[in-house]
Structure 1
């Protein structure tokens, strides 16, 4: 973002750093803007300065600063409060930060899925990540609040659509809406709703060989997603 009052377009851009190199004590890099994010007016950035971890003087000084803030979470809160209608049935935990190694699993709470969840956990562990389901935690009084926090803070959401569970469909829609990477799994492609058929799903058999294949496929997918984010 530029300084205020310097004659430049007064908008902030969200993006990532690539090609970081050190040359004679200096650092060179390329800033790659996220074209999916509309530039944010500095007036709005200033109004939400606390959310971004910014101080007043920073809007009038050319400098670099590193903030302990999830930029996408801050951006969502800024946009949601001004440009987009927010959800009415629940509150998104925008004060929480996304966790780079967290895989959130959405699946029916049924004992027959225990071996499936174990396969997913092993896949995540081998990919250098960790898995959680809402029943692994109890931070809030309402389970939906735990589910929302889990989806919000996750790097990747795995949704098992087996048996057409309504709760899983609802949670998958939330994950898609807030822009999480979602990996669909199912024991039958017939359980995948028509609207999601265009998205590839990992299909598996719930036997020993099938779960091993699921673990291998999910591990590869997680490694691909996290490698892409580091580019």
Structure 2
């Protein structure tokens, strides 16, 4: 434990001489096997630690993968050894080290991975997915009754429902939108009226791997690229909204189980 960890980092992780599990669990984590001993492809995973606890002399934990980040071939991690402050012989020894620096910047800043990070907003990678949170992307003006029906469908399942204008956590509204999509288990997108903001936000939700439920008052409002995805259509009147609420609740229940 804490091999190949700088002394000042050890002092942060062990402020009173013993391991501070809360500080350790707050850090983004890279988990990978030793390399060079098998022929088949091996992978590393990136995520956060949960249920970190001592079991006898063993430190046990669960790893929750960071949303939108697939497993990474260990050869790519080895190529980033300098950026990650990993010495080459560390790849051949099982240990737990804590390193300085930004793990996500090293992995996705355009280095050996060849991947680029967004430039106009930031993914809040430090935040977990909230399993009971449903994000709603929809036009604001003229959709009050639709908003009420969606919230009633969500809340009937014991889930929470938020639109971007329900929160104010950042200076830039787009950061609030991204944070909401990132933290949500499901995104409901109302494509009615061909609102460009909703289209943009729906694309981000798809890119982050969120389950997206598409709504529209007319299929003519659904762009060609999204028509291969099933869309729940509804009429914006009392009967139509009632039917939409029932169908939406059924779809959400099938997704969140």
- Give TM-score, length-normalised by structure 2: 0.63
Q: Does the Cα contact within 8 Å between 1:2 and 1:10 map onto a contact in 2?
A: no
Q: Which segments of 5 or more consecutive residues in structure 1 lack a partner in the other structure? A: 15-35, 52-56, 64-73
What is the Cα deviation at residue 89 of structure 1?
2.1
Task: Name the structure 2 match of 1:194.
Answer: 224
> In structure 1, what is the Cα distance between the partners aligned to 2:193 and 2:131?
30
The one of 113, 130, 139 aligned to 1:99: 130
1:214 to 244, 253, 256: 244
Instruction: Give the structure 1 partner of residue 11 of structure 2.
Output: none
3-state DSSP of counterpart to 2:249: helix
Q: 1:214 to 1:76 in 2, by over 3 A?
A: farther
The DSSP-based 3-state class of the residue aligned with 1:100 is: strand
Cα pair distance change 1:222/1:79, threshold 3 Å:
farther
Judging changes above 3 Å, is the alpha-carbon distance between structure 1 residues 94 and 120 closer, same or farther for their aligned structure 2 residues?
A: same
CA contact (8 A) 2:80 2:106 kept: no
Secondary structure, in 3 states, of the residue corresponding to 2:232?
A: strand
Report the Cα offset of residue 119 of structure 1.
1.1
SS of the residue corresponding to residue 130 of structure 2 reads: coil
Q: 1:185 aligned to 203, 215, 238, which one?
A: 215
**Unaligned runs of at least 5 residues, structure 2:** 1-31, 46-68, 85-89, 97-102
Structure 2 match to 1:108: 139
The answer to whether the aligner puts 1:139 opposite 2:172 as a matched pair is: no
Cα shift at 1:40:
3.3
Provide the residue aligned with 2:194 in structure 1: 164
More helix by share: 1
Q: 1:46 to 1:114 in 2, by over 3 A?
A: farther
Seen in structure 2, the aligned counterparts of structure 1 residues 217 and 90 have a Cα distance that, compared at 3 Å, is: same
- The structure with the larger Rg is 2
1:224 corresponding residue in structure 2: 254
CA change 1:60–1:126 in 2 (3 A) is farther
- Size of the aligned set, in residue pairs, is 190
Residues 199 and 6 from structure 1, CA distance in 2 versus in 1: closer, same or farther, beyond 3 angstroms?
A: same
Deviation track 1:14-70 (CA, whole Å, cap 9, x = no partner) reads: 6xxxxxxxxxxxxxxxxxxxxx9444317729979xx9xxxxx9984499xxxxxxx
> Are positions 1:41 and 2:41 aligned together?
no
What does the per-residue CA deviation read over 1:116-136, in whole Å, with 9 as the maximum and x for residues that have no partner? 111111111122311100111
Query: In the TM superposition, what whole-angstrom CA distance separates every residue of 1:156-208 from its partner, at most 9, and x where no partner exists?
Result: 11110111111111111111111111111011111111111111101001111
